[in-house]
Amino acid sequence: MSQQIAIQPISAQAFAPFGEVIEVAGEPDKIINQGQCGRYHDRASLDFIEGRAGVSLFNANPRSLPYTLELVERHPEGSQLFIPMTEHPFLVIVAKDELGTPGRPLAFETKAGQAINFHRGTWHGVLTPLLAPGLFAVVDRIGEGANLEEHWFDTPFVVARPG
């Protein structure tokens, strides 16, 4: 038997224990390019143990709801920033660490134009676009050593919109 998780809209406050929501909000920090561009400066806290920041492109298959969550992962050596390259929202699943294993997951849905940055060591679901194409720029740690831990749930969760 599976357990249910209701998707909630993502907000900076609700997501803060797990990472950062990166978006254009409020007034820009600077106006640049001859007054034609607002710069929202330094919005993600990249955090790496050794190695370097690298930019990769991910092209993920879209998933449908309800979504069966069987696996979460984390990256103990570095943060991981997902920047969608389309206007489509995507599903973000996270869990607090409970003595080395994930606690009960939470599910968020982004809005168009939002990116997310997972803190180093945050348990999270795999990349889960809800519409095609699922194209993302990803900034994460490139370096030697293992930077991936996976956890398979004994009983999967079913993630769905409320109601």
Q: Quick one: pLDDT band at residue 83, thresholds 50, 70, 90?
A: very high
Is pLDDT of 1 > 80? no
pLDDT of residue 95: 98
Q: Domains (ranges, CATH) in the chain?
A: 3-160 (2.60.120.480)
Q: What is the DSSP string of 20-38?
A: EEE---SS-SEEETTTTEE
- In the structure, what pLDDT confidence band is assigned to residue 150 with cuts at 50, 70 and 90? very high
Residue 142: name the closest of 70, 60, 64, 51 by CA. 51
What pTM does this model have? 0.94
pLDDT at residue 163 in the model: 80
Nearest alpha carbon to residue 94 among 124, 114, 116? 124
The four Cα atoms 12, 43, 58, 2 give a dihedral, to 10 degrees, of -20
Give the model's confidence band at 10: pLDDT under 50 very low, under 70 low, under 90 confident, else very high: very high
